[in-house]
Structure 1
Amino acid sequence: MIRIASYNVHGAVGRDRQHAPERIRDVIREIDPDIIALQEVESGRNGVDMFDWLAGETGLTPIAGKTLMQASRHYGNLMLSRWPATSFQLLDLTWSRREPRGAIAANIPYNGHRLHVVATHLGLRPAERRAQVERLLTLFTETKLDHEILLGDLNEWYLWGRPLMRLRKYFDELPAPPTFPAGRPVFALDRIYASPKGILKKLAVHRSALARQASDHLPIVATLDLG
């Protein structure tokens, strides 16, 4: 059994509008994940580089997927793993002139198993998400490993939208608990998918009091049985 999680940390700015990276760190410690995908990770605010700082504070191996890089600020995705990746690639999923988007695709070995883990944060427009999902699906059809995982903030709340329908054809169709907004979640923006079908045994939202304050999203956590 391994624990996988996805968490949009909102730049470590909580519902009280305070920048508090230590709350994000403590939520991750509450979850105690083997692999976690983080979105909206930021460096530069109040002199904190969350990419390096979170890796050091959690003791997990980082893979940074920065999508916005400026002189005083970096921003994007971060994957933290208990086991180092043997290889990884960073994908540019930017669509038209919209906000830069990307994904981290990592090959992570564990106890004789080969995990292909893809972490992403999709765009806000339906056509943007459709194009990004089609690109992500090629990662799984072209590189077939023992166990495949797609997770992140998909920004898709319409259950019958084409992006989710395409994903359901490839992965297990599972309940999608709401994660946004953190105070009273109604939208299932954050998702975890796994293949082959049947390995994802449990999917739940982490609803601790700290998580409800630390970001505008709640983390989503899955338990996988690699068998």
Structure 2
Amino acid sequence: MNPDGHDTGDPQVLRVATYNIHKGVQGIGPSRRLEIHNLALAVETLDADIICLQEVRAEDRREAEYFTGWPELPQADFLAPEGYEAVYRTNAVTRHGEHGNALLSRWPIVRHQHEDMSDHRFEQRGLLHVEVLAMGMPMHVIVVHFGLIPASRLRQTDQLKCYIAREVPPGAPLLVAGDFNDWGTRVRRLLRVDALQAFEGPRTFTYPSRFPVAQLDHIYARGMRPLSLAAPRGRVWSRMSDHLPLIAEFRLAA
């Protein structure tokens, strides 16, 4: 049984999670605290077949000096449960290191690639595209982290749609997951045109984690049937990141 109360015993059910981990650190200044070890336990309890992560550190030399217990491994590798493969690609290079998107997969990874989605020089953004062999079936997963400016998100939505048309075969199962930073529904409406389905009905709030009032995180799918959507709540989850994880289950086509 998982944090949202679902049982994943059905072999035709695919469980997917997306989680902005806020670089494994919470708070600012001298009061900030290291959460990456708690996040590793949390990621394992999600028990998802595919875990899409944003704001993942490859390295941060300043934080590594500041915190006792900073992992020697890059965060994607550190967070991967036993038996999972990890893929990371950089979105942003900073003075002290770099961070980007990552994917952890219970299933074998066939290939992966990255595309820059930066809309202006003040925000470095990108998408991570991974092809996995899920239950023997090729499946494409795209991890995104959109910008803070509404006009940027619209242009990044157009870029994502062009990328899918160019890089993903029309009949292939597809997941698009991540932090869309969208407080409204415009991005969702634009993606729906390309047969990417989000879960309809009441929104599952994921931000801010201490008192969620918005769903900035989404999981879209093509070629599979949505079954459930949930975000775990509670003090433990609210401490680890400013976002809650979002967990979805899909039934694969026969």
Q: TM-score when scaled to structure 2?
A: 0.81
Deviation at 1:66, TM superposition (A): 1.0
Distance 1:84 1:73 in 2: 29
Unaligned 5+ residue runs, structure 1? none
Distance 2:184 2:164 in 1: 23
Unaligned 5+ residue runs, structure 2? 1-12, 65-69
CA RMSD of aligned residues (A): 1.9
Deviation at 1:139, TM superposition (A): 3.0
Q: 2:21 — aligned with what?
A: 9
* Structure 1 residues 48-197: aligned runs within 5 Å: 48=71, 49-55=74-80, 57-70=81-94, 72-142=96-166, 143-144=168-169, 145-159=171-185, 161=186, 163-169=187-193, 170-175=195-200, 176-196=203-223
Q: 1:26 — aligned with what?
A: 41
Deviation at 1:70, TM superposition (A): 4.7
Q: Which has the higher contact order (CA 8 A, sep 6+)?
A: 1
Runs of 4+ displaced beyond 4 Å: none
> Residue 33 of structure 2 aligns to a residue in which SS?
coil
Compared CA separation, residues 105 and 211, structure 1 to 2 (3 A):
same
> Residue 166 of structure 1 aligns to a residue in which SS?
helix
Compared CA separation, residues 120 and 154, structure 1 to 2 (3 A):
same
> Residue 252 of structure 2 aligns to a residue in which SS?
coil
Q: TM-score when scaled to structure 1?
A: 0.91
Distance 2:150 2:115 in 1: 19
Deviation at 1:97, TM superposition (A): 1.6
> Residue 140 of structure 1 aligns to a residue in which SS?
helix
Deviation at 1:224, TM superposition (A): 1.0
Distance 1:220 1:201 in 2: 14
